[in-house]
């Protein structure tokens, strides 16, 4: 057991570890939950590699995670969410030189789009995303257990910078309409303009963002 714990700590030093032991009448997870209801809402792993993979996922965030973070504060249209997620990515990349998430960002007609976010919320069209149950279901798919959006961000790598960027975007852009956000991202000599071609859905690369993303132009 000690070797296992030491191995986990060496691979995932950012994680805090706690231990809870008890004796049950059977060698099953159900007996553990019956003995102590604390475990009922936890996910059980019997494979150390699978457990390690789950930890890795928890230390990283996706574009959908970022979208869910913003939606935990208010209701937005997909256009608003896509733009806010993009701005968070661009600000974080400029601040740290690192990607906020792995998904590519494409230049569509009305602004930057992340396909994973688009696929989830496409059905809302131009309406605000208000279905809390769907939001919660999608969020839980990307975490190892029930967790609130803010707490989720606190346990990822570089959480301090990430939360600083996300809360700044939330504060500064939460009241802007989709039309105003389009006007912001479509300004001259910003990354979207350099990537966009009609119906091409070109990727807005990190190189374009690092070279052309200008927070002063986007200030409101």
Is the pLDDT at 135 greater than 70, yes or no? no
- Measured CA to CA, the distance from residue 8 to residue 220 in angstroms comes to 45
* C-beta neighbour count of 141 within 10 angstroms: 10
- My answer on whether 30 and 113 are in the same domain is no
Choose one of 16, 33, 59: the last residue of a domain.
59
Query: Quick one: pLDDT at residue 72?
Result: 85
Query: Quick one: pLDDT at residue 138?
Result: 61
- My answer on whether 124 and 198 are in the same domain is yes
* Contact call for residues 185 and 215 (beta carbons, < 8 A): no
Angle between helices 159-173 and 63-71 (to 10 degrees): 50
- My answer on whether 120 and 168 are in the same domain is yes
- My answer on whether 127 and 165 are in the same domain is yes
- My answer on whether 70 and 8 are in the same domain is no
The tokens describing 101, both together, are 């998430």
Task: Summarize pLDDT for 3-35 with one digit per residue, the tens.
Answer: 776 776 677 666 666 677 788 888 888 888 888
Compute the CA torsion angle 176, 177, 178, 183 (nearest 10 deg): -60
- My answer on whether 71 and 85 are in the same domain is yes
Task: Summarize pLDDT for 141-179 with one digit per residue, the tens.
Answer: 555 444 567 777 877 888 899 999 999 999 999 999 999
- My answer on whether 53 and 77 are in the same domain is no
pTM: 0.75
- Domain extent, residue 114, equals 63-218
Task: Summarize pLDDT for 68-105 with one digit per residue, the tens.
Answer: 889 888 899 999 999 999 999 999 999 999 999 999 99
Q: Concatenate the DSSP letters of all residues of 67-120 into one string.
A: HHHHHTT---BHHHHHHHHHHHHHHHHHHHSS-S-SS--EEETTEEE-HHHHHH
Query: Quick one: pLDDT at residue 54?
Result: 63
């Amino acid at each position: 057991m000690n070797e296992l714990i030491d191995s986990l700590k060496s691979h995932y030093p950012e994680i805090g570890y706690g231990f809870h032991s008890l004796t049950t009448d059977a060698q099953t997870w159900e007996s553990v939950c019956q003995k102590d209801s604390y475990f009922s809402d936890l996910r059980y792993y019997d494979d150390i590699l699978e457990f390690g993979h789950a930890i890795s996922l928890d230390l990283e965030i996706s574009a959908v995670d970022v979208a869910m973070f913003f939606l935990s504060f208010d209701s937005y249209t997909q256009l608003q969410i896509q733009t806010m997620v993009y701005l968070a990515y661009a600000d974080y990349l400029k601040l740290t030189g690192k990607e906020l998430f792995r998904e590519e960002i494409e230049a569509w007609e009305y602004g930057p789009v992340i396909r994973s976010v688009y696929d989830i919320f496409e059905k809302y069209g131009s309406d605000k995303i208000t279905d809390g149950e769907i939001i919660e279901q999608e969020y839980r798919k990307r975490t190892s257990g029930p967790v609130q959006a803010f707490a989720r961000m606190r346990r990822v790598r570089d959480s301090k910078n990430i939360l600083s960027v996300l809360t700044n975007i939330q504060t500064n852009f939460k009241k802007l309409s989709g039309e105003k956000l389009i006007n912001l991202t479509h300004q001259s000599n910003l990354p979207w303009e350099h990537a966009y071609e009609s119906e091409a859905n070109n990727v807005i690369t990190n190189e374009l963002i690092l070279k052309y993303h200008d927070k002063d132009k986007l200030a409101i």
